[in-house]
Structure 1
């Protein structure tokens, strides 16, 4: 056998032996991280009901623009801008339940759970205690408590939300 052929055969054999002896490590793909929870959307899904009691404050030109701006910012999930608009509105009209609840929802979206619960409780205390606003109050409180791991208190809030729906009068 010629020395060149022998060298080529030895090189090819070594390459093939090397390929066969390397174990293939399986590539494990990590599942994608779940998307962050949209707590504001969850809150609104929790409060759907058919009762018709809606208590609205009298129109207030000074805060209406700020409320519209905040609502638009919430829809776009620009929660920092929404928080600024709502804080300006609350400086003008402190204690207004609809503004306090919107502020609670923004805090919830920002994962500021203690703040969300505080604003929702303040809204409930100054609000109508019936209807959609009441249910939003307790839904925000429930979500904040659940996220903090306090399931027992979250269940109490869920029960309170059920009391917010009024039954129509019995007609005979």
Structure 2
């Protein structure tokens, strides 16, 4: 019998024991956010005043059906299914800023802060820079930044910056004669 075989077996056993003892890094702290309250605040920020310009696009009926399904699912607390319905709608119309905003809010409800911010920023890029929808985009970004376990203090990336942008979205309608 070869005297090296037991030594190899011994080394392999020691390595497997050490591997079992290694620990995985701790999970990042879960976001502390009351998602339902955050979404309510976002929707409240998007309330239109009677003196404000608010342009609404014509909607694709198939996308509208999916949006209504998502709304129904959200109301019954089935947030993951609402996300899936909105993802399906986004496959049909990926550039709709209102749909992107609804997806951002659904992401908040499942506590996916990164997705919520990403969809809200896409909505800002692809949508109007004024009006109720603009305010909802920026309030979503503010809510995400506020809920981060460790807030970023990068200039232009603070909660206060997002709220300033939100407030800048309010523009009076042109006078009618």
TM-score of the pair, normalised by structure 2: 0.70
User: Once superposed, what is the RMSD of the aligned Cα atoms?
Assistant: 2.2
Larger relative CO (CA 8 A, sep 6+): 1 or 2? Answer: 2
Instruction: Find the aligned partners of 1:168 and 1:56 in 2 and give their Cα distance.
Output: 14
Question: Given that residues 43 and 140 in structure 1 are in contact (C-alpha distance below 8 angstroms), is that contact kept between their aligned partners in structure 2?
Answer: yes
* Residue in structure 2 matching 1:156, options 157, 161, 167: 161
2:39 corresponds in structure 1 to: 40
Change (3 A) 1:72 1:154: same
Aligned residue pair count: 138
Alpha-carbon contact 2:48-2:54 (below 8 Å) kept: no
Q: Distance in 1 between matches of 2:127 and 2:120?
A: 10
The separation in 1 between residues aligned to 2:141 and 2:107, in whole angstroms, is 11
Q: Secondary structure at the match of 1:95?
A: coil
Output aligned runs, 1:44-55, within 5 Å. Answer: 44-50=43-49, 51-55=51-55
What do residues 54-93 of structure 1 show as CA deviations (whole Å, max 9, x unaligned)? Answer: 2222221121100111122223332111101000001111
1:127, 1:75 → 2: CA distance? 26
User: Which one has a bigger Cα radius of gyration?
Assistant: 1
Higher mean C-alpha deviation, range 122-131 or range 150-159: 150-159
> Any unmatched runs of 5+ in structure 1?
1-34
The 3 A distance-change label for structure 1 pair 54 and 78 is farther
- What is the TM-score with the length of structure 1 in the denominator? 0.72
Q: Tell me the distance in 2 between the aligned counterparts of 1:101 and 1:36.
A: 18
C-alpha contact 1:138 1:161 (8 A) present in aligned 2: yes
Long gaps (5+) in structure 2? 1-32
